[in-house]
Amino acid sequence: MASTIVSTVGGQPAEFSPGGSIPELGFAPALSKAVFETPAGQAGKPVAAPGGYALFRVLTRTPFDQKQYDAQKSELAESLRSREAERLLQTYVRQMRASRKVQVNEELLKSLLPEEGSRRG
């Protein structure tokens, strides 16, 4: 794993990893490469980026911490699995709703719900 960089992007500090998405710009491999080749504290040359050219200055460089990564790896993996499972479930539910006709059986529904007068509030 490589380090992360804090660089100014759009006038604001932005932290990102090599090859990853750059805040406010998205995926910009040429810019990412240039930023990670520039020493901390220095400004880089203009680089073509989505929407034009980017000017940047590397503020700090954070080295990769294997111990911290190992400690958080399973938690991060579980979080990603959970998000993906929820996304897939929502997609499935939307597809089922779109392809199935739903009918409400009012009589059955009323028999399952408590009477208005018997509710405690």
Q: What is the pLDDT of residues 38-92, one digit of tens each?
A: 998 898 899 888 778 888 888 888 888 888 888 888 888 999 899 999 999 999 9
- Predicted confidence at residue 87, as pLDDT, reads 94
Q: Domain locations in the chain?
A: 4-62, 66-101
Band (2; pLDDT cuts 50, 70, 90): very low
pTM higher than the cut 0.85? no
Residue-wise burial string across 79-115, b where 16 or more C-beta atoms lie within 10 A, e elsewhere: eeeeeeeeeeeeeeeeeeeeeeeeeeeeeeeeeeeee
Q: How many CB atoms lie within 10 A of CB 59?
A: 14
Question: Is the predicted pLDDT of residue 4 greater than 80, yes or no?
Answer: no
Residue 90 to residue 47: CA distance in whole angstroms: 40
